[in-house]
Chains A and B, each alone.
Chain A
């Protein structure tokens, strides 16, 4: 009974100390050195023993007020797989000359047992710290801690200063290795206010705040500070799962967003973010956004020839969409704001996402088609918080046009996307509609189209054991988009078909016809005349035939017994195949598998097969349908089992027997 009491004592003691203090640099205990594995997670290759950070806002040497962030971590390296933790890279922003960020006060030390088992220390030599200019905007500081071995403890600390008050350091409690203690202490003078947001499912084990009186002063202006400590203990490692959206949405972390500050010269309060009204106002007047949307007249000269002769509003909109797709090549950069303006993007034929899509919005409006811009955050960028507005959480912008009461979401950055089809990366919860004359509002960003294909096969078993016939496939929605991308990887359709033929092994393509490759609004149609080298000859009493000729599922994509995060495919899918088989006179269907009909709960999906024996042959049909985009962890076991059943069903073979 003594033990719990003792623990409690330590905890109280600990929290009083921790509320005000970093842990001492270079300290270690014999117990930490002797540690062979981390009991709470024996799969860990390393564990953070202690992690501490602090952020303050203060005047620095050059008399400017900056955010000073100090980071200090001590990591136990359990085995060689975690040696990468000993190579550290700290990025910092260095674009403009007068407001650049800075990293300094780097100290590092490795504590390890030498060959004789004696504990040794090796300090990081400052001359081994390297600064690299990565690109126009970013530099990084890199170093490798010396004398790393399994069982070593590495420790390092650095200071990062930034003049950008809206870049108050977030704190990531959770990482790919577990942590025993992680503590973040912030001192925020009352001249600045931040919104604080905690993400992830883990709870803070410490959250104290108190007022520090008169802690900040500059040229006579004095204020108090909030001193807040956030802490977590025994934080598990984050384990990524397949088919999930951005881990960012689930990782436990705390974020700070500048909400207002006081101009220290005038004493007036500057509101950075208050509510959507302010963001709307800012965006409407920003060069990188609203100004671009107002350039309707400027785009007239480009647009007029494009829409000449187009009768309906929809036809006009499609023509403009195709024009922008073709004429501004996306440079691969995501952005919610235009870089050099849409005019320049049109003239130079290149631009970021906002250049392309704001040009689209403006072009449509200049043709009199009512269109708004929609800000969003891509899947990898994570979900937008809905508690309070933060403009820089958005990293992408698309167009939303309304024609005859129907709305279409448009992204012109990829010339293969059909009108109204959003790429998967944009299908992320909700987007914020921005227009010049209305307050902004949320809309859902869900797939309007399925990933759909239907194939029909008409095949005949020949006397030489080969199967001949035709296959016709229509790809619709996302399936058509993916197919088009695959075909366009080749220089011509012929080269695509040749490659397909070469890859299909026993199936030879005798003739092909691919239609609507460039008519993005129509289903992509492929028609192939094929020959399958099915049997060496027909001198057998029985022949086994598996009707799942294409894309037969062999392995279950889901292996885990349970999941923590949803399976998110982004869109529903639907795949249908109808096969008609004609047999030679002297063969009959002896045996065919039972039809199967299975479904997911809550109409989440279906898998259906049917067989019908007919004169001299049979027909077989199959439908696989997933009607949801997202399956929550509770649905996961059903989804996994659904796949098992599909795999079992697809093993079934039809037996043909020679008539005696």
Chain B
């Protein structure tokens, strides 16, 4: 069987080599055109591990750009650095009829520094080329080869990675020596690998897809990894920056990380150890001790990222952070760990995929490139506390939505351990507001508002706190946008920096012309403080389930004191909806000159069937309608 297959593959290769590809645009199937700005005609990606420190990427692709929106997809972008070297890149452009119009080569590429803005230094560069022709459609064909001096990380294969990109045919081949073992994971793909052997005795693994339609952006979609076809590959034995290792699971990968990258980097000068002893002196509870040390670290350091070579995975020495008072996430975690160690407190270095979207490390597939950030875990008995070490002000034990509710890898001396960070539920992430407003006969509004923010909503106001009052007022005027002529007399913030922190905002405000008086009538918006203005876009023929990344609860209660002598002759606001993904209630009660408005909106995180999307659209429409409700009162 194997022999036959190989021969077949070889034959295929030869056929490809001889065949004159026809890029005539009219050959693209009509089925692939909806929502497509560009179509991959044929793409072959080959990764060949020649040696543990020598991996060759070979990419050949032909892409037809249907209109201007496809130009971005057609841009050729090649990342490279000291250990990932471009061997060659060349290509050509074809017109609508598949006729060659021009060629390009490496000299036509611009080469720029690609470090992120956050980074002081990163060894990462980009070569890029933007095709241009006089007309659409056109086809760009190019081929490039890169050499990577390691075998720890391999690029994922994701054939339809961009919105608006359809695929006629795309294939992926992984080639290695018989003794080089890999694990692979197919996501959103039927099991489809074809394995074989080349005539030189090398192992091959091949995947192929054909006729994938373009993806349309759908709001409330799960993370892309949940619905895009992907193949991930991890080695068993590898080399990275001269260090070798072996792993087949998270335990072994965590062990290697600990032994080769983390161990013995935590020595501190005696003065600092002394300092740790001084600040924790007299405290018995290890958690309180840890808190003191954490706050000491926060006051002393700042986040600056410098990534070179192995530095992408290995922290600076703790002694260096101690001297410079800055470092990236790895360095600051390692430093905090060293400080804690000086007080005999154990802690674990944890790799996480950070970001407001929750992404977990894959339970059943260990590989090095799944995380992008590092946090610290304090494994106390009956109490696991996680620390974010790159912020100067985040409360001890609070992770915010940057790293909450996801699987992380703790790298311990005993090996890797998958753990889950705490989840901030819809109940925890609350915003509870009470306001007392008076509206006078000229439409002038005066009153006080007190709001308590908790959980992930605590963060929303963290930045404001460091601002001087006049800046705070400017920001508040934008935040409470729906009140025109908003004048903030006083504002005050109080923070409780606990593991579940709370911030209380107190505002004294006034606004002229809040209500419109005309013809013996009085109009005003019932909900000027917490207003949903935009509805959720409806999606016909939705393909993804509904995913709500993070839940929250907002409660508002406004008591209006109105000028006397008015009544309402329209039905009062009274709305209540309950759905699996959330509840909404808004009511108004008019009693003499008192109008009480109450509103509760709770959105519950989770994944819901795609059919419930329509309900979600209606749900938000109800919210928007109620939030836009205008009180119309008539003089008696």
Contacts and interface: CB of A to CB of B under 8 A. Distances in A.
A146 B326 contact: yes
B83 interface: no
A600 to B, nearest CB: 17
Contacts of A130: 120-121, 306
Interface string A124-146: 00001010111110000011101
Contacts of A80: 302, 392-393, 466
Contacts of B226: none
Interface in A50-90: 79-81, 83, 86-87
Interface residues of B, number: 71
Interface string A480-521: 000000001111000100110111011000000000000000
Contacts of A348: 102, 132
Interface string A555-589: 11001100000000000000000000000000000
Interface stretch (A25-33, A265-273, A646-654): A646-654
A555 B624 contact: no
Nearest to B480: A555
Interchain residue pairs A-B with the least CB separation, the first 10: A43-B468, A505-B535, A350-B132, A329-B132, A555-B481, A327-B134, A147-B325, A146-B324, A502-B538, A559-B477
B262 to A, nearest CB: 23
B471 A43 contact: yes
B468 A42 contact: yes
A263 B621 CA distance: 75
Contacts of A499: 537
A649 to B, nearest CB: 8
Interface of B: 35-37, 66-69, 102, 110-113, 115, 120-121, 130, 132-135, 164, 275, 279, 296, 299-300, 302, 304, 306, 323-326, 392-393, 466-468, 470-471, 474, 477-478, 481-482, 484-486, 513, 516, 518-519, 521, 523-525, 533, 535, 537-540, 569-571, 617, 621, 624-625, 630, 632
Contact of A495 (B35, B300, B485, B624): B35
Contacts of A223: none
B478 A652 contact: no
Contacts of B523: 651-653
27 contacts: A45-B466, A87-B304, A115-B300, A122-B323, A135-B110, A136-B110, A148-B325, A326-B134, A326-B135, A329-B133, A488-B67, A491-B35, A491-B36, A491-B37, A495-B35, A502-B540, A503-B535, A503-B538, A505-B535, A505-B538, A554-B533, A555-B484, A559-B477, A559-B486, A651-B524, A652-B523, A655-B632
Contacts of B132: 329, 331, 348-350
Among B37, B115, B132, B323: residue with most chain A CB under 10 A: B132
B619 to A, nearest CB: 12
Given A80-B393, A502-B537, A555-B484, A135 B112 contact: yes
A318 interface: no
Contact of B324 (A133, A147, A331): A147
A110 B571 CA distance: 67
B325 A491 contact: no
A54 to B, nearest CB: 28
A214 interface: no
B632 A544 contact: yes
Contacts of A142: 120-121
Contact of A648 (B300, B393, B516): B516
Nearest to B481: A555
Interface string A442-469: 0000000000000000000000000000
Contacts of B324: 122, 128, 144, 146-147
A593 B518 contact: yes
B540 A498 contact: yes
B485 A491 contact: no
B485 A83 contact: no
A628 interface: no
Contact of B630 (A132, A144, A350, A653): A653
B484 A115 contact: no
Contacts of B133: 329, 349
Nearest to B112: A135
A331 B299 contact: no
Given A499-B537, A644-B485, 5 more contacts: A135-B113, A490-B69, A505-B621, A542-B569, A554-B533
A647 B484 contact: yes
Contacts of A503: 535, 537-538
B474 A559 contact: yes
Nearest to A41: B468
Contacts of B482: 554-555
Contacts of B302: 80, 83, 86, 148
B113 A506 contact: no
A143 B481 CA distance: 40
A613 B519 CA distance: 17
Contacts of A144: 120, 304, 324, 326
Contacts of B624: 505
A96 interface: no
A400 interface: no
A284 interface: no
B513 A644 contact: yes
Contacts of B102: 348
Nearest to A143: B120
A540 interface: yes
A503 B540 CA distance: 11
B457 to A, nearest CB: 22
B525 A651 contact: yes
Contacts of A87: 120, 304
A316 interface: no
Nearest to B472: A43
